[in-house]
Amino acid sequence: MDTRLAQIIDNFTKKVMGKFSQEDVLKIEDLEIKLWEDCSFFVRDSIAAYTEMIDQLLTAQKEERKEAGITVHKRNVSREYLSKFGQVEFNRTYFKTEEGYSYLADKAVGLESYDRVSTNVSAELVDRAASMSYQKSAEETTIGRVTKQTVLNKIRKTKGLELVPKGIKKKIRVLHVVADEDHVAMQSGKNVIVPLVTVHEGIESVSKCRNRCINARHFSEYGKPVSEFWEEIGAWVEEEYDTRSINRIYLHGDGAKWIRRGMEVLPGCRFVLDRYHLEKWVKAVTAGSMKEYSFRIRKALKNYDLKGFVSAIDDMLTEAESRKQAEMIIGLRKYILNNWDGIEIRKNEPECGSSCTEAQISHVLADRLSRGPKGWSDEGLKYMSRLRVYKVNGEKVTVKNIMKKDEALEPSEMEKRVVKMVKEAFAGFKDYSIFEKQELISGKVTPISTILKGIEQVGYVF
């Protein structure tokens, strides 16, 4: 094994053993901090030594490099990058190849050119950004060593955030699809809508005042065409459920055109008008001088009496005090007539259940996108809407979600040879004897005997 790496391991072992064998008994909280510091230093030093070891092996392959047209251009070029354990520094060789200039050691260990943050740290930055600001994610993950712009750049390099079916098709009788939108402020000053669709298997009671959707899964992406958005959801439903066993799919929403488009994709789908948006309309129109019509309107809707509703609207129009008020009344009539199927379905198919559109928006999107003073860019909002639902769906961003420029490129034969040589170098250094049980023999000093001696001196007993 490389002598430097062996020395690093030896020094780390001595440091740890020294802490265990000192006369004073360390508190657990002190031990955690001290060992974390030692471990972090050990990992950083080991990574640097490992990378330099590979670089040395690459440099030593003179015949192979000559055949491949690779020559040394510059030696001992330093590089730094931020790992989960702190800043790592090492030197490597700059090679000239037939394709151009390259740090072959960087490529061999998976470091991209000019990247100053490791993939693990990048994944943590992105994962935290789903529930907090870019700045706060940078502070909590790296103690402010990277900027909020770096966090945004990492989010733009994410991949694989799509909801993947589990592979075992569920058999259920009724499926619910809830659709609504969040209104989000942009940097330009305008507001845009971000769609959200939640697929669930019904609602169950959690406590006296709280319900939850069973097996809820969320879909959202700002800027995606409506037809493509619904096709993605429809394809997921086809893979997740045995659609032959589904008797009915209920699509809950406020009746917007983009929501009703879902009925074209989802098999056996019926629309259900969300009561929250219905009540919002009724309350706005029957305010002020029209308050006396509130009871008539609500009674007609409750009894599914379309004629009674239209009659009340006609009477309201005769008493309208302004053009604006008349337009609101006409607007309510149009809204109810266009969505009467979504109201009457509660009479004919009570199993359609209640809607929870606004609750889903609040829980899934609004907490991150629209609550508080924010201003999004088109690209930032596109990535964040996808990232947000990925996290709320119970997933965690890992290195597999961070895109790399060179990930599609196969390592060269020389790189494969170097990796094999490194494995062989490590294979010859497998000595686990320090973990074996040893007797405390007078006069013989071993790591274990040092620990036992320390325990004996402070009166500790197992």
Which is nearest to 202 in space by CA: 210, 211, 190? 211
Q: What is the pLDDT of residue 453?
A: 52
Q: What is the pLDDT of residue 2?
A: 61
pLDDT for residue 462:
36
Nearest to 285 by CA among 334, 329, 223, 345: 329
Q: Is 96 strand, coil or helix?
A: strand
Question: What is the pLDDT at residue 422?
Answer: 67
In tens digits, the chain (462 residues) has pLDDT values of 567 888 898 899 888 888 877 777 778 888 889 899 999 999 999 999 989 988 988 888 888 888 888 899 999 999 999 999 999 999 999 999 888 898 988 888 888 888 899 999 999 999 999 999 999 999 999 999 999 999 999 999 999 999 988 878 999 999 999 999 999 999 999 999 999 999 999 988 888 778 889 999 999 999 999 999 999 999 999 999 999 999 999 999 999 999 999 999 998 899 999 999 999 999 999 998 899 999 999 999 999 999 999 999 999 999 999 999 999 999 999 999 999 999 999 999 988 988 888 888 998 999 899 987 678 999 999 999 999 999 999 999 999 999 887 665 567 777 777 677 667 666 655 554 544 444 444 455 554 455 445 444 444 333
Helix 134-142 with 148-155: angle, nearest 10 deg: 100
Q: Give the DSSP per-residue string, 227-283.
A: HHHHHHHHHHHHHHB-GGG--EEEEEES--HHHHGGGGTSTTEEEEE-HHHHHHHHH
At 58 the pLDDT is: 86
In 3-state terms, what secondary structure has residue 92?
A: strand
Task: Determine the length of the chain.
Answer: 462
Looking at residue 185, what is its pLDDT?
Answer: 94
Instruction: Find where tokens 């429809």 sit.
Output: 234
CB 94 within 8 A of CB 74: yes
- Report the distance separating Cα 40 and Cα 188, nearest Å: 44
User: How many other C-beta atoms lie within 10 A of the C-beta of residue 189?
Assistant: 7
SS3 letters across 157-184: CECCCCCCCCCCCECCCEEEEEEEEEEE
Place of tokens 């000192």: 22
What is the per-residue pLDDT for 109?
87
> Mind giving me the DSSP string for 177-243?
EEEEEEEEEBTTS-EEEEEEEEEES-EEEEETTEEEETT-EEE--TT--HHHHHHHHHHHHHHHB-G
Q: Are 28 and 452 in contact (CB under 8 A)?
A: no
Q: Where are the domains of the chain?
A: 3-112+404-430, 121-155, 174-394
SS3 of residue 38 by DSSP: helix
| Span 357-414, pLDDT tens digits | 888 899 899 989 998 767 899 999 999 999 999 999 999 999 999 988 766 556 777 7
Q: pLDDT at position 424, please? A: 67
Pair 193, 181: CB distance under 8 Å: yes
Q: What is the pLDDT of residue 26?
A: 77
Residue pair 336/343 in contact by the 8 Å Cβ criterion: yes
Q: Which amino acid is at 263?
A: M
Could you tell me which residues come within 8 angstroms of residue 430 by beta carbon, excluding any fewer than 6 positions away?
Answer: none
Sheet holding 269-273, edge to edge: 217-219, 191-200, 174-185, 248-253, 269-273
